[in-house]
């Protein structure tokens, strides 16, 4: 407790608060630009922290991390240009809301949900980090395999009205996911000799292409196009979500925060699995699942509380075991060690003051971005009134430059443009793009873990059902698949038309 008070003292100095504010603003900006990921944001801050005292350095890194994950939701909702894979699920419902003139409300809900998820995971981090970290170790390749399948099952809820087209889109994503040098055999698969493809089809250029570039096409090509659809062309609805709506979403936020925190602890999973599973679970538990994908505040709340809960979750194995929960926290470890703090139990004893300073600053950063976000949302939403042909070129420029900045590779820019055209026609011809991206993210996780399991178990498929944790996950998958079918069947029987 004393340590917490000491840490609180550290966070509440003017210098620390200034660092926190700057970090939060920088993080929000970085997160909202396509191509600038949280990983990049944190990595770019590391050299700045070299000459800072450890407290301030960690405050800066923490603030950039949590607020960049939130920042992604702003452009995902208002412009349907998710900056990273973490906010794809947010765009699914957020953008239809913005198009209907309710962008401010959607942003407000996203902000509150992010705050909820972020705070939840930080509280978990303070309260039960060491025991929870064993979750990271309990997951072996078998469990990751089933988890990836769980993630893929969510495609059902994303593409429910055109299941076959959804499956085709996902299959294309899975095929794309096999491109590259195979880590197991060293064999080149579908690279056609292009060394740019040896590491696989890069995810973010495809994502930016399918969402942002195609959105630039959508906005520019129709005469008089724009975000706000219909003839009224005005902002409707409330500035902030109604208290009733917030209360309605509380259960979803809580469930998503738990999912996000747990998935965050797993080093091999990734933020997007958490937000997709939460989204699909929210839909499964909803009394009006048919409204998901067409502008349902609950969908925004599910995805956003999950992806911000991941931030605290990823820090649990990072700080307690020295095993980074994702790419961002891997960079974090670098930042910690440079300041002489070796991740592991000693962080909570020897360096407890600095560690708790970091954790408290995460709390404050969450509050800060929420305040800034709630204040900004009514102003930001004006963006949706700008004519499409003015927004489109700017989105395209950000996409092109952002894609290039990912790894300074012009090949990726051509790739993003190609997928932009593909995405444009997919939308016109009613093929959903999200399944392709989900499959491209989860395909490699599924494949490497499946093959690892098979190598460990010598091609004995029962290994997935003989381990308790893996069996439990299998049951969840079956439940997630069977429940919507059962519900549909029941509804048909009870309401014959």
- Residue list 455-494, contact with other proteins (CB under 8 A): 455-456, 458
217 binds other proteins (CB under 8 A): yes
Interface residues for other proteins in 150-179 (CB under 8 A)?
164-165, 167-168, 170-172, 174-175, 177-178
Q: At what angle do helices 468-494 and 271-285 cross, to 10 degrees?
A: 30
Stretches 63-71, 253-261, 383-391, 489-497: which one binds other proteins (CB under 8 A)? 383-391
Taking CB under 8 A as the criterion, the residue among 14, 47, 468, 496 binding other proteins is: 47
443 binds other proteins (CB under 8 A): yes
Report the C-alpha gap between 271 and 346 in whole angstroms: 27
Do the beta carbons of residue 31 and residue 83 sit within 8 Å? yes
Residue of 407, 415, 65, 63 whose CA lies nearest to 206? 415
Taking CB under 8 A as the criterion, the residue among 414, 476, 477, 484 binding other proteins is: 414
Stretches 279-287, 295-303, 375-383, 385-393: which one binds other proteins (CB under 8 A)? 385-393
247 binds other proteins (CB under 8 A): no
Cβ neighbours of residue 423 closer than 8 Å, sequence gap 6 or more: 209, 210, 211, 213, 214, 217, 433
User: Which CB atom, from 56 or from 216, has the smaller least distance to other proteins?
Assistant: 216
293: three-class secondary structure by DSSP: coil
What is the helix (H) or strand (E) element at residue 435, kind and residue range?
helix 434-457
Give the pair of three-digit tokens for residue 457: 């178990």
Shortest Å, Cβ 474 to other proteins: 17
Cβ neighbours of residue 23 closer than 8 Å, sequence gap 6 or more: 45, 59, 60, 61, 62, 63, 64, 67, 365
Stretches 38-46, 100-108, 117-125, 251-259: which one binds other proteins (CB under 8 A)? 38-46
Shortest Å, Cβ 69 to other proteins: 16
Shortest Å, Cβ 89 to other proteins: 22
User: Which CB atom, from 181 or from 250, has the smaller least distance to other proteins?
Assistant: 181
Taking CB under 8 A as the criterion, the residue among 228, 315, 381, 400 binding other proteins is: 400
Interface residues for other proteins in 55-94 (CB under 8 A)?
none
Q: At what angle do helices 14-32 and 2-11 cross, to 10 degrees?
A: 70
Report the C-alpha gap between 314 and 324 in whole angstroms: 7
Taking CB under 8 A as the criterion, the residue among 5, 138, 478, 479 binding other proteins is: 138
Q: Which residue has the tokens 């040098």?
A: 181
Give the pair of three-digit tokens for residue 64: 């950039």
Shortest Å, Cβ 163 to other proteins: 9
Residue of 212, 206, 202 whose CA lies nearest to 83? 212
Interface residues for other proteins in 262-321 (CB under 8 A)?
267-268, 317, 321
User: Which CB atom, from 367 or from 418, has the smaller least distance to other proteins?
Assistant: 418
22 binds other proteins (CB under 8 A): no
385 binds other proteins (CB under 8 A): no
Report the C-alpha gap between 110 and 304 in whole angstroms: 6
Q: How far apart are the first and last CA of the chain?
A: 63
Build a one-symbol-per-residue string for 174-203: x at contacts with other proteins by CB under 8 A, - elsewhere. xx-xx--xxxxxxxxxx--xxxx-xx----
Residue of 406, 438, 469 whose CA lies nearest to 277? 438
User: Which CB atom, from 200 or from 373, has the smaller least distance to other proteins?
Assistant: 200
Do the beta carbons of residue 349 and residue 130 sit within 8 Å? no
Taking CB under 8 A as the criterion, the residue among 15, 128, 137, 232 binding other proteins is: 137
User: Which CB atom, from 12 or from 187, has the smaller least distance to other proteins?
Assistant: 187
Helix spans in 202-344 (H): 203-207, 214-220, 243-265, 271-285, 297-321, 327-338
Number of residues that bind other proteins (CB under 8 A): 101
Do the beta carbons of residue 100 and residue 285 sit within 8 Å? no
Shortest Å, Cβ 283 to other proteins: 22
Taking CB under 8 A as the criterion, the residue among 270, 312, 392, 432 binding other proteins is: 392
Shortest Å, Cβ 23 to other proteins: 14
Residue of 29, 34, 32 whose CA lies nearest to 399? 34
229 binds other proteins (CB under 8 A): no
Do the beta carbons of residue 298 and residue 282 sit within 8 Å? yes
User: Which CB atom, from 108 or from 268, has the smaller least distance to other proteins?
Assistant: 268
């Amino acid at each position: 407790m004393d340590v917490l008070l000491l840490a609180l003292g550290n966070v509440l100095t003017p210098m620390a608060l200034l660092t926190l504010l700057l970090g939060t603003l920088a993080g929000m900006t970085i997160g909202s630009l396509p191509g600038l990921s949280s990983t990049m944001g944190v990595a770019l801050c590391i050299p700045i922290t070299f000459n800072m005292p450890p407290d301030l350095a960690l405050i800066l890194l923490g603030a950039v991390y949590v607020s960049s994950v939130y920042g992604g939701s702003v452009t995902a909702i208002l412009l349907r240009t998710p900056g990273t894979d973490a906010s794809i699920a947010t765009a699914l419902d957020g953008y239809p809301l913005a198009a209907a003139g309710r962008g401010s409300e959607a942003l407000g809900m996203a902000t509150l949900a992010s705050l909820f998820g972020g705070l939840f995971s930080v509280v978990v981090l303070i309260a039960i980090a060491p025991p929870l970290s064993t979750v990271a170790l309990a997951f072996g390749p078998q469990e990751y395999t089933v988890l990836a399948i769980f993630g893929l099952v969510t495609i059902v809820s994303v593409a429910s009205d055109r299941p076959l087209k959804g499956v085709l889109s996902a299959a294309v994503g899975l095929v794309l996911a096999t491109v590259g040098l195979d880590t197991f055999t060293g064999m080149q698969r579908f690279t056609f000799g292009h060394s740019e493809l040896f590491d696989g089809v890069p995810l973010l250029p495809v994502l930016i292409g399918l969402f942002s570039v195609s959105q630039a096409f959508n906005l520019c090509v129709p005469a008089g196009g724009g975000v706000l659809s219909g003839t009224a062309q005005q902002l409707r609805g409330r500035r902030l979500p109604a208290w009733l709506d917030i209360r309605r979403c509380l259960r979803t936020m809580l469930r998503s925060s738990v999912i996000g925190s747990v998935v965050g602890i797993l080093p091999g999973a990734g933020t997007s699995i958490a937000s997709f599973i939460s989204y699909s679970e929210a839909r499964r538990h909803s009394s009006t699942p048919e409204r998901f994908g067409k502008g349902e505040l609950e969908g925004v709340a599910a995805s956003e509380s999950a992806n911000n809960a991941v931030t605290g979750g990823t820090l649990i194995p990072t700080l307690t075991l020295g095993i980074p929960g994702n790419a961002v926290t891997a960079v974090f470890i670098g930042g910690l060690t440079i300041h002489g703090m070796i991740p592991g139990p000693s962080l909570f004893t020897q360096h407890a003051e600095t560690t708790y300073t970091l954790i408290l600053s995460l709390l404050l950063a969450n509050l800060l971005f929420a305040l800034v976000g709630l204040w900004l949302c009514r102003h930001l939403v004006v963006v949706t009134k700008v004519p499409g042909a003015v927004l489109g070129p700017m989105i395209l420029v950000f996409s092109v430059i952002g894609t290039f900045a990912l790894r300074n590779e012009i090949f990726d820019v051509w790739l993003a443009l190609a997928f932009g055209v593909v995405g444009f026609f997919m939308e016109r011809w009613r093929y959903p793009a999200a399944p392709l991206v989900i499959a491209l993210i989860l395909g490699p996780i599924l494949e490497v873990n499946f093959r690892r399991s098979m190598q460990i178990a010598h091609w004995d498929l029962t290994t997935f059902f003989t381990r308790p944790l893996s069996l439990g996950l299998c049951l969840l998958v079956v439940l997630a698949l069977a429940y919507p079918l059962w519900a549909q069947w029941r509804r048909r029987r009870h309401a014959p038309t």
